[in-house]
């Protein structure tokens, strides 16, 4: 990378707001240690609503060699943050108002805050003892539902605390916005939702989260239409659904019931669709047709997983994707690896909005979730050929809601004065390195608040 990057000497004891100094590590004398402590002390809290954050590394453009982009230029800047927004972006060395408090990012790279748009905060093993899921070989989704009916009562007593632990994990990875699916089923009733809302209330100034009422055991199969409507009245933003053929056994009836709840309560839809058989394609076609003839649903249909799209020929995919884009249908993919590869680049080319999420973070479905959205960007880069500098920078878009530091020609697109002060400080020289190496994050900011990690008092 061609950059004036220099490594910070500061070390932060993560998550404590406590102090760790180089002098303590090196065994300096008392006098010099005291001076170093004053210089290197980090804080895990910024109380002021108006302050400067100095030594922030921002991307300024691409370096080219002939037709190729070979590196990303960066420079240090000062961000003036006021009332949750970036009021000004100043060059290094610019005159600063003396009475405005100052903090230092220590040369760390700022990246747009991440958005985890498909996660299950309400049912996780995270925050408790290690537990691997039971074997799934030969098990159908109905078998998994039966297992969950036994498991949920065991998880419910601690579900709020586990959700809080998972939110802390997301904040540590630079994620400040999420969309969580929450079980609405006969076993847990509305308790999972109540516990999740209590957890989110504790984090309301640090973390934003939409909730999807998710009929995990089937909207029709588990007879939860009434509970779903109660969830809508409790402030849930999305109506969920699940495999209308494989679980509910009645595709049109199941989808009609889901859409009717959304229409009655003026909500959007976010449905889990795992089906890869022709029934999965039929379900997507039916949902798109429903939106086409129902203007109130335009821009309000989200297809989570939508694996059936990966079974279509290019011509079939293009025709369907164009209709989806015209109706504002969003695909939320967890970027699966295995026998099926989702056609995400082609969907984007056709104008379909894309999102991703970390889905299951150490639960009875999967032990592999890390809560790291850079991991999803990294997977996209690996799967879809983003190995060069430019491709790596573009891969990050799926994890940030399409917010990128540089546009396609290398002009700064983020941050700009007036933007919300929502970003992560990263141990990387540029966004390409951050995606390729899944670089560590040292601090997370949300609406101007330091919500994870630490920065130095300048």
DSSP β-bridge partners for residue 76:
57
User: Domain check: are 165 and 81 in the same one?
Assistant: no
pLDDT, the chain, mean: 92
pLDDT in tens, 199-221: 999 999 999 999 999 999 999 99
pLDDT at residue 99 greater than cutoff 90: yes
- Is residue 406 in some structural domain? yes
pLDDT at residue 1 greater than cutoff 80: no
pLDDT at residue 11 greater than cutoff 90: no
- Is residue 16 in some structural domain? no
User: Domain check: are 91 and 213 in the same one?
Assistant: no
- Is residue 10 in some structural domain? no
Closest CA to 447 of 56, 53, 83, 44: 83
Higher-pLDDT residue of 4, 193: 193
pLDDT in tens, 140-152: 989 999 999 999 9
Of the pLDDT bands very low, low, confident and very high (cuts 50, 70, 90), residue 372 is very high
Rounded to an integer, the average pLDDT of 250-266 is 98
How distant, in Å, are the alpha carbons of 6, 314, 348, 354, 378 from that of 271? 46, 24, 20, 15, 25
Of the pLDDT bands very low, low, confident and very high (cuts 50, 70, 90), residue 49 is very high
User: Domain check: are 290 and 307 in the same one?
Assistant: yes
Give the chain's length: 458
Q: What's residue 40's pLDDT?
A: 54
The fraction of the chain above a pLDDT of 70, given in percent, is 91
For β-strands 268-273 and 238-242, DSSP reports them as: parallel
- Is residue 384 in some structural domain? no
Q: What is the CATH number of the domain that holds 201?
A: 3.20.20.140
Of the pLDDT bands very low, low, confident and very high (cuts 50, 70, 90), residue 339 is confident
pLDDT at residue 97 greater than cutoff 50: yes
- Is residue 220 in some structural domain? yes
pLDDT at residue 410 greater than cutoff 90: yes
User: Domain check: are 92 and 129 in the same one?
Assistant: no
Of the pLDDT bands very low, low, confident and very high (cuts 50, 70, 90), residue 279 is very high
The CB density around residue 62, as the number of other CB atoms within 10 Å, is 22
- Is residue 385 in some structural domain? no
How distant, in Å, are the alpha carbons of 159, 221, 247 from that of 144? 19, 14, 11
Q: What is the CATH number of the domain that holds 402?
A: 2.30.40.10
3-state secondary structure of 455: strand
- Is residue 5 in some structural domain? no
User: Domain check: are 283 and 430 in the same one?
Assistant: no
Domain that holds residue 213: 114-371
Is there a cis peptide before residue 61, judged by omega within 30 degrees of 0?
Answer: no
User: Domain check: are 85 and 215 in the same one?
Assistant: no
Q: Supply the DSSP symbol for 264.
A: H
User: Domain check: are 100 and 118 in the same one?
Assistant: no
Higher-pLDDT residue of 190, 4: 190
User: Domain check: are 82 and 45 in the same one?
Assistant: yes
- Is residue 409 in some structural domain? yes
pLDDT at residue 14 greater than cutoff 90: no
Q: Contact, 301 vs 330, CB < 8 A?
A: yes
Token pair 């400040």 in the structure block, residue: 176
What's the number of domains the chain is made of? Answer: 2
CA–CA dist 455, 40 (Å, integer): 9
The CB density around residue 140, as the number of other CB atoms within 10 Å, is 11
**DSSP, residue by residue, 68-89:** EEEEEEEEEEEEEEETTEEEEE
Higher-pLDDT residue of 9, 51: 51
User: Domain check: are 123 and 262 in the same one?
Assistant: yes
Q: What's residue 116's pLDDT?
A: 98
pLDDT in tens, 23-48: 333 333 434 433 444 455 889 999 99
User: Domain check: are 214 and 82 in the same one?
Assistant: no
User: Domain check: are 163 and 297 in the same one?
Assistant: yes
Domain endpoint, select from 340, 371, 402: 371
Q: What is the pTM of this model?
A: 0.90
CA–CA dist 211, 190 (Å, integer): 13
Task: Quote the strand ranges of 219-333, DSSP E.
Answer: 238-242, 268-273, 301-305, 330-332
The CB density around residue 36, as the number of other CB atoms within 10 Å, is 17
The CB density around residue 382, as the number of other CB atoms within 10 Å, is 15
User: Domain check: are 353 and 406 in the same one?
Assistant: no
- Helix axis angle, 159-172 to 191-202, nearest 10°: 40
Q: What's residue 41's pLDDT?
A: 81
pLDDT in tens, 286-320: 999 999 999 999 999 999 999 999 999 999 999 99
CA–CA dist 358, 375 (Å, integer): 9
């Amino acid at each position: 990378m061609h950059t004036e990057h220099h490594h910070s000497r500061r070390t932060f004891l993560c998550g404590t707001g406590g102090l760790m100094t180089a002098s303590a590590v090196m065994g300096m004398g008392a006098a010099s240690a005291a001076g170093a402590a004053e210089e290197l002390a980090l804080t895990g809290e910024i109380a002021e609503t108006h302050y400067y954050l100095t030594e922030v590394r921002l991307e300024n453009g691409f370096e080219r060699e002939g037709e190729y982009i070979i590196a990303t230029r960066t420079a240090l800047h000062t961000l003036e943050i006021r009332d949750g927004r970036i009021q000004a972006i100043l060059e290094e060395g610019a005159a600063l108002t003396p009475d405005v408090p100052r903090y230092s990012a220590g040369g760390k790279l700022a990246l747009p805050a991440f958005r985890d748009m498909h996660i299950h905060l309400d049912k996780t093993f995270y925050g408790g003892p290690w537990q691997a899921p039971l074997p799934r070989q030969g098990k159908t989704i109905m078998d998994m539902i039966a297992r969950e009916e036994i498991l949920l009562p065991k998880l419910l007593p601690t579900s709020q605390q586990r959700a809080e632990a998972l939110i802390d994990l997301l904040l540590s990875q630079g994620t400040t916005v999420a969309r969580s699916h929450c079980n609405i089923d006969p076993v847990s009733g509305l308790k999972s939702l109540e516990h999740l809302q209590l957890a989110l209330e504790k984090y309301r100034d640090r973390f934003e989260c939409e909730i999807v009422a998710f009929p995990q055991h089937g909207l029709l199969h588990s007879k939860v239409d009434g509970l779903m409507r109660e969830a809508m009245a409790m402030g849930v933003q999305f109506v969920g659904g699940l495999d209308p053929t494989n679980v509910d056994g009645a595709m049109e009836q199941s989808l009609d019931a889901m859409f009717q709840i959304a229409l009655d309560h003026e909500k959007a839809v976010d449905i889990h669709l795992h089906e890869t058989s022709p029934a999965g394609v039929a379900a997507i076609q039916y949902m798109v047709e429903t939106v086409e003839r129902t203007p109130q649903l335009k821009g309000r249909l989200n297809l989570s997983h939508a694996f059936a799209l990966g079974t279509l020929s290019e011509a079939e995919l293009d025709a369907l994707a164009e209709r989806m884009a015209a109706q504002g249908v969003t695909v939320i993919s967890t970027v699966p690896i295995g026998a099926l590869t989702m056609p995400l680049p082609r969907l984007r080319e056709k104008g379909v909005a894309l999102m991703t999420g970390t889905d299951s973070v150490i639960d009875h479905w999967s032990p592999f979730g890390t809560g790291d959205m850079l991991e999803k960007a990294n997977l996209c880069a690996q799967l879809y050929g983003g190995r060069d500098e430019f491709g790596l920078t573009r891969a990050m878009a799926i994890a940030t809601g399409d917010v990128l530091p540089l546009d396609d020609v290398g002009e700064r697109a983020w941050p700009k004065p007036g933007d919300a002060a929502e970003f992560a400080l990263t141990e990387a020289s540029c966004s390409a390195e951050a995606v390729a190496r899944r670089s560590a994050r040292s601090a997370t900011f949300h609406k101007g608040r330091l919500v994870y990690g630490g920065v130095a008092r300048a």
